[in-house]
């Protein structure tokens, strides 16, 4: 065995380094931002939000739970206790940031949903009552407004499409009631899908965020808002999620003008492209969204789109992954004639489609016999109904409406819930549901198994 001298190793290392230097430039050292200056400048734009709810409202969940409930607890932890409190007013804390000198503030929908009173505290201690101007449950966004005679500090909105993994970011919020807390980290990933809704596209960051940060801003190193802190992994460290600010920009004008978001609708069910499917369709790479089904008389069907078409581009925007198509369609104005590039039978084709409107809920004419004794309106699920409600499930019995103040509302049942079991009895048809409801008597505690957001969820209703 040969022994190599230390002098020889050092000489070879020096030669290798010289070769590397001559091959190209050495990247400059990346310096961290001046977080002191950023914090001083940006903290005044961030607000603390406190809400209170009546006992009846407090019993309602603020949002649909994550599909990752068990056995890993709640993947989509929404930053504050959601347990029902029927004997006292519920109070909760969150964060937000000012986006205009007119007093408009962005936060999460789950921070203010169902609140009787919303209070906003600025960094200088001033406190205001806020009015809810609009909310969007699908993106978990809300727009509130305060009235101030003095000029308000305003956060500048950045461009979340330009952020790169590894960039420095800073979060400011109200974790555990500790006002104006500043944390920093990097962008860990983009385009994360975590099962929170049909338009998942989260920024993942390791900047420390905790209960109470919800609705607060995620700033870039330039001091611009690139995201809205929304979710954490329960029990995890260094894993937080923020809504890209560009998604919020698309809906803020509608929340201000209409109080809700009107979304485009194509009327198709899509699935991802696997390597084997790509080869079978003659597609290079695994890009695009494969149309698995087309809703009868929907916009896609009227335009001539078919099952088996692979959507590669919609309205000038390339579709790299399946999840991108629903987001792009939803952001397209209703009635717009959009050009769709598809691969059909191995050939590229252009199809023009008039974008329809995604229904927020089901029309009253679609509901079955109004509300039942528990305060729910239900219907047997069809492909068309599932598409209009934005549901992935296409079979079973779905809740289409919940009466205000009813037992169902107090228990936390929501429109869009799919009823799987009642009292341990399997529910697959309207006949199953009606028989189970008829058997309910005063004084019973009825257990429901619901399908919600892609996961199962148990609720109990006490019939009083």
- Span of 73-82, 229-238, 260-269, 280-289 with lowest mean pLDDT: 73-82
- Span of 28-37, 167-176, 285-294 with lowest mean pLDDT: 28-37
The pLDDT value given to residue 16: 55
214 flagged as catalytic? yes
Helix or strand run (H / E) with residue 45: none
**pTM higher than the cut 0.85:** no
Phi, psi of 385 (to 5 degrees): -65, -40
Looking at the predicted structure, is the pLDDT value of residue 35 above 70?
yes
Considering the candidates 136, 140, 372, 417, report the single residue annotated as catalytic: 140
The pLDDT value given to residue 17: 53
Contacts of 114 (CB under 8 A, 6+ apart): 53, 57, 58, 60, 62
Q: Give the residue ranges of DSSP H helices in 291-421.
A: 299-303, 324-330, 383-389, 407-411
244 — pLDDT class (breaks 50, 70, 90): very high
327 — pLDDT class (breaks 50, 70, 90): confident
Q: Give the Cα separation of 145 and 102 in Å (integer).
A: 8
24-44 mean pLDDT: 78
Considering the candidates 50, 95, 110, 457, report the single residue annotated as catalytic: 110
Looking at the predicted structure, is the pLDDT value of residue 378 above 60?
yes
pLDDT digits (tens, 9 = 90+) for 393-437: 777 898 888 887 788 888 888 888 889 999 888 998 888 888 888
Greater confidence (77 vs 446) lies with 446
101 flagged as catalytic? no
pLDDT digits (tens, 9 = 90+) for 42-90: 999 999 999 987 655 444 444 444 433 433 334 444 444 444 444 455 5
Looking at the predicted structure, is the pLDDT value of residue 93 above 90?
no
Greater confidence (128 vs 85) lies with 128
Q: Give the Cα separation of 65 and 61 in Å (integer).
A: 8
Looking at the predicted structure, is the pLDDT value of residue 228 above 90?
yes
The pLDDT value given to residue 217: 96
Number of residues assigned to the chain: 464
Give, as one character, the DSSP assignment of residue 37. H
Tokens representing residue 411 in the block: 């228990």
**Percent of the chain at pLDDT exceeding 90:** 42
Considering the candidates 214, 220, 309, 432, report the single residue annotated as catalytic: 214
How many helical (H) and strand (E) elements, i.e. helices and strands, does the chain have? 11, 27
Residue 278 φ/ψ region, left for φ over 0, alpha for ψ in the -120 to 50 degree band, beta for the rest: alpha
Nearest to 315 by CA among 307, 327, 304: 327
Greater confidence (8 vs 191) lies with 191
- Within 10 angstroms of residue 205's Cβ, the number of other Cβ atoms is 28
The pLDDT value given to residue 459: 85
pLDDT digits (tens, 9 = 90+) for 355-377: 998 876 444 334 444 457 788 88
The pLDDT value given to residue 5: 54
> Which residues make beta-bridge pairs with 119?
50, 129
**Percent of the chain at pLDDT exceeding 70:** 80
Greater confidence (329 vs 452) lies with 329
Greater confidence (163 vs 295) lies with 163
Looking at the predicted structure, is the pLDDT value of residue 96 above 90?
yes
113-139 mean pLDDT: 92
Between the alpha carbon of residue 268 and those of residues 199, 306, 347, 391, the distances in Å are 15, 9, 20, 12
Looking at the predicted structure, is the pLDDT value of residue 188 above 50?
yes
The pLDDT value given to residue 14: 58
240-251 mean pLDDT: 93
Location of structure tokens 């927020």: 360
Q: Give the Cα separation of 288 and 318 in Å (integer).
A: 8
């Amino acid at each position: 065995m040969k022994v190599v001298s230390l002098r020889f190793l050092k000489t070879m290392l020096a030669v290798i380094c010289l070769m590397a230097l001559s091959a190209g430039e050495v990247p400059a050292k990346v310096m961290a931002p001046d977080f002191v200056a950023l914090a001083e400048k940006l903290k005044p734009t961030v607000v603390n939000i406190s809400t209170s709810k009546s006992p009846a409202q407090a019993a309602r969940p603020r949002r649909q739970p994550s599909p990752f409930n068990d056995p890993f607890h709640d993947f989509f932890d929404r930053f504050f206790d959601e347990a029902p409190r029927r004997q006292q007013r519920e109070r909760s804390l969150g964060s937000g940031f000012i986006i205009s000198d007119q007093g408009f503030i962005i936060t999460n929908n789950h921070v203010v949903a169902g609140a009787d009173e919303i209070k906003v505290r600025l960094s200088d201690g001033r406190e205001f009552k806020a009015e809810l101007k609009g909310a969007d449950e699908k993106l978990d966004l809300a727009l509130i407004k305060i009235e101030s005679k003095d000029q308000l500090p305003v956060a500048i909105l950045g461009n979340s499409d330009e952020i790169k993994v590894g960039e420095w970011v800073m979060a400011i919020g109200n974790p555990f009631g500790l006002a104006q807390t500043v944390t920093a980290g990097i962008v860990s990933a983009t385009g994360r899908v975590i099962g929170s809704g049909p338009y998942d596209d989260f920024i993942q960051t390791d900047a420390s965020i905790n209960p109470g940060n919800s609705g607060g801003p995620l700033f870039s190193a330039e001091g611009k808002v690139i995201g809205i802190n929304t979710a954490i992994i329960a029990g995890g460290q260094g894993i937080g999620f923020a809504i890209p600010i560009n998604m919020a920009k698309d809906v803020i004008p509608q929340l201000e003008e209409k109080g809700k978001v009107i979304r485009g609708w194509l009327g198709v069910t899509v699935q991802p492209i696997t390597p084997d499917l790509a080869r079978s369709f003659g597609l290079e790479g695994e890009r695009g969204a494969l149309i698995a089904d087309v809703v009868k008389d929907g916009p896609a069907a009227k335009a001539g789109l078919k099952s088996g078409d692979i959507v590669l581009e919609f309205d000038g925007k390339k579709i790299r992954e399946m999840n991108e198509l629903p987001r792009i369609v939803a952001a397209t104005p209703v009635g717009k004639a959009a050009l769709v590039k598809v691969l059909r039978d191995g050939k590229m084709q252009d199809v023009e489609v008039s974008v329809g409107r995604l229904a927020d809920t089901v029309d009253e004419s679609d509901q079955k016999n109004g509300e039942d004794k528990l305060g729910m309106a239900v219907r047997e699920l069809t492909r068309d109904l599932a598409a209009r409600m934005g549901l992935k499930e296409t079979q079973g019995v779905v809740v289409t409406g919940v009466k205000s103040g009813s037992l169902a509302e107090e228990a936390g049942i929501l429109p869009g819930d799919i009823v799987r079991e009642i009292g341990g009895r399997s529910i697959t048809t309207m006949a199953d549901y009606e028989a189970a409801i008829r058997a309910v008597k005063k004084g019973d505690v009825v257990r429901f198994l619901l399908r919600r957001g892609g996961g199962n969820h148990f609720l109990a209703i006490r019939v009083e």
